[in-house]
A and B are shown apart, each in its own frame.
Chain A
Amino acid sequence: MASLRTEGLVKRYGALLVTDHVSLDIRAGELHAVIGPNGAGKTTLINQLSGELPADEGRIVFGGLDISALPVHERARAGLLRSYQITSIFEEFSVAENAMLAALATKRHAWRFWTPMRDDAVAREAAEGAVLSAGLAAHSDVLAGELAYGQRRQLELAMVLAAQPKFLLLDEPMAGMSVQESAAVTELLRGLKGRYTILLVEHDMDAVFALADRISVLVYGSVMFTGTPDEIREHPEVRAVYLGDETV
């Protein structure tokens, strides 16, 4: 488990300040949620953390290491894994193969040209564990392209788990899910708490308040407030800007 800290992260698109001097401090082992209205810049922030988008200013420190200049694949190898809001899997491969590929990268390497991937015991073990945790054990040999939507989201999670990360960057894992599906994923994530450091970006408030140790509220690109779920619930500005008059 590793910590993640950003220092004054800035991203501009022309004159528009999409990420406004964001300084987050995510402690090792915690489940830290980032919430905020649409357009607040959550996806842009995640993309900068994962390395897909270079920041204009600021630093990102992962487990004490400055990863600001590292490309995506090297951050992943260092243990910073990310799941996507819009499912991004290998459609032609089975569930098991998807997970094994993910395990391969961080546990072993891909520079082998003869022995089948499925014969790699280390990768297979990690993959099977991940698929089981994600609740897809029964569909291990199904082609990813043939899975139902909710199962695809589960595979999305299985892939980051298979890589046995130190840090999970989860981008709206419950996007497009039914109430039951969301509840199932919430339980899944609850089981992961304490084993990994997790940064969770979500709209599903039930899940957020059930899972988060701390919550940061992102509005117009800057962090308006960071606190425990209770503190967030009571914070008048947050309620006004984001939660409205709803009591959660």
Chain B
Amino acid sequence: MSSRLTPTVLLPVLLLVAFAVVPFVATALEQPFWISFFARILIYAIAASALNLALGYGGLVSFGHALFMGLGSYAVALPAFHGIANGWVHLGLCVGACGLVAWGVGAISLRTSGMAFIMITLAFAQMGYFALVSLKQYGGDDGLPVAATSSFGGFDLGSTLPLYGTALVVLALLTWWMARLRVAPFGMALRGARQNARRINAIGLEARRLQLVAFVISGATCGVSGMLLANLNAFASPSSLAWTVSGELIVMVVLGGIGTVAGPMVGALVFLGLEEVLKGWTEHWMVIFGPLIVLMALVGRRGIVGLIALRPKAPRPATPVVASEGGV
């Protein structure tokens, strides 16, 4: 990582410091609500960062990442239902299940090109939604309260402060890793596959395998955000797999700055912050937010971090042109 204090390095560090300060400020101002509100932002920042790996670095427009958030939540709620409160079990189940599902979904979806890939990831997430809704003994449509929150020895994620701290640490580590990954061999190869998959294959790297591995890591990491969410809400619901959630994650990544390190954090903060502000004016805030999203798409996709960095960029295809065969 560059040792110069460029905006791209400074921004994520400043944000993380700001997030660290929030609980103290909130306690001092006697506004405990802010802690859980910002905890939610941290959780979505983790999910958006995970998506950024697949979408921003890999160019894979996954419209189904809510599937992993949902699975992560149920990875807590289901064992808890059966009396298992061990955090390590929850974590293992979360990462294992999400990784496995991501491998399956990715392997099948990557057989197709960009447009179909989007539709198929959406369809798989919907499938997960229906599967969970039909599990009546686990709450079905109503969702499943978390009987026992994740406990790591004495450290229990059921209380807000430990959860906040954990989420912050996870986000910090993830952000650091994404910064390193960006210029590490895997990250460079993956970003190369996004720009020119044909060339990646022609130099001896297998584009599809790179993308699949990225998708699996992305899914498993996103699952962790779901695990944290279940602990925050003490609740797991199929509605967290709604396709709208997948869309919101994409908006966060793009709004913040697709493919950047700080982008997902910024995007989650701005998205959820704006939602909170607009909700204060009207319950029908989406009537304003929806067109804003359309506008964002029309105007161009540098995102907030892209605008801050202000460096002129080379023309950037966001999705890979050809993922499999070389094309004619």
Where the two chains meet, the residues of A that have a C-beta atom closer than 8 Å to any C-beta of B are: 47, 50-53, 71-74, 76-77, 81-82, 84, 88-93, 97, 100-102, 104-106, 108-118, 120, 143-146, 159, 163
Contact = CB atoms under 8 A, between A and B. Distances in A.
Interface of B: 1, 177, 180-181, 183-189, 191-192, 195-196, 198-207, 210, 313-316, 325-328
Given A76-B201, A93-B188, A111-B185, 7 more contacts: A73-B205, A92-B191, A93-B191, A93-B192, A112-B184, A115-B185, A116-B180
B195 A91 contact: yes
Given A89-B196, A91-B195, A110 B189 contact: yes
A90 B192 contact: yes
A33 B282 CA distance: 72
A143 B314 contact: yes
Contact of B199 (A71, A89, A112, A143): A89
A109 B185 contact: yes
A105 B314 contact: no
B181 A113 contact: yes
Given A106-B203, A163-B203, A88 B196 contact: yes
A113 B196 CA distance: 20
A116 B183 contact: yes
11 contacts: A72-B325, A84-B199, A88-B199, A90-B191, A90-B192, A91-B315, A93-B195, A113-B186, A114-B184, A116-B184, A117-B183
Contacts of B315: 91, 145
B326 A117 contact: no
Nearest to B186: A113
Contacts of B183: 116-118
A91 B204 CA distance: 19
Contacts of A76: 201-204
B328 A81 contact: no
Contacts, number: 129
B196 A105 contact: no
A92 B316 contact: yes
A116 B198 CA distance: 23
A114 B326 CA distance: 29
A92 B314 contact: yes
A114 B180 CA distance: 6
Given A50-B326, A92-B313, A114-B180, A97 B202 contact: no
Contacts of B207: 73
Contacts of B186: 110-113
Which 10 A-B pairs give the minimum distances between C-beta atoms?
A145-B314, A52-B326, A105-B204, A76-B204, A110-B189, A77-B204, A72-B201, A112-B185, A105-B203, A116-B183
A77 to B, nearest CB: 4
A105 B205 contact: yes
B195 A101 contact: no
A104 B189 contact: yes
B206 to A, nearest CB: 5
A47 B314 contact: no
A159 B325 contact: no
B328 A47 contact: yes
B203 A144 contact: no
A46 B188 CA distance: 28
A25 B316 CA distance: 41
A81 B184 contact: no
Contacts of A81: 202-204
A30 to B, nearest CB: 23
Contact of B205 (A100, A110, A118): A110
Contacts of A116: 1, 180, 183-184
A120 B188 contact: no
Contacts of A112: 184-186
A114 B325 CA distance: 29
A52 B327 contact: yes
Contact of B203 (A52, A93, A159): A159
Contacts of B177: 113-114
A146 B312 CA distance: 10
Contacts of A89: 196, 199
Given A88-B199, A163-B204, A53 B328 contact: yes
Contact of A113 (B187, B195, B314, B327): B187
B185 A146 contact: no
A100 B184 CA distance: 11
B314 A73 contact: no
Given A73-B206, A145-B314, A97 B188 contact: yes
A17 B44 CA distance: 56
A29 to B, nearest CB: 22
B136 to A, nearest CB: 42
B56 to A, nearest CB: 12
Contact of B188 (A53, A109, A117): A117
Contacts of B200: 73, 101
Nearest to B180: A114
Nearest to A145: B314
B202 A82 contact: yes
Contacts of A104: 185, 188-189, 205
Contacts of A143: 314
A93 B182 CA distance: 12
Given A104-B185, A118-B183, A50 B314 contact: no
A115 B187 CA distance: 10
